[in-house]
Structure 1
């Protein structure tokens, strides 16, 4: 099951939409490029399995 969630780019601060795979577990992390400035963001995703609320933190990918 997938859903979408919004995060703010760690580089430019612009909002982005990302797909979240709810079947991948309550804690996930991956790198996704900003749809505006194209810089890579590390997304740390937490899904509350009871309410399906999604929280996303971002940081720069310096790799």
Structure 2
């Protein structure tokens, strides 16, 4: 697996598909990235298990 992987995910604010880069050197990550379409802050949750990448996005204001 490459050190960086590109994945697409739907923005939880505007619904548009955006591309995000994932650092595959860490098994679990949580970080905030702004949507490239609507500029809202998206919390990205990443879990890597072997070759499988689990990616989810939520609104910054979700509890």
TM-score (norm 2): 0.82
Gaps of 5+ in 2: none
Structure richer in helix, relative to its length: 1
Name the CA distance, whole Å, in 1 between partners of 2:53 and 2:7: 7
1:22 offset after TM fit, Å?
0.6
Name the CA distance, whole Å, in 1 between partners of 2:57 and 2:40: 12
Name the CA distance, whole Å, in 2 between partners of 1:4 and 1:22: 10
Q: Which runs of 4+ in 1 moved over 2 A?
A: none
Choose from 18, 28, 33 the match for 1:16.
18
1:5 offset after TM fit, Å?
1.1
Contact 1:5-1:18 at 8 Å conserved across structures: yes
Gaps of 5+ in 1: none
Q: How many residues align?
A: 59
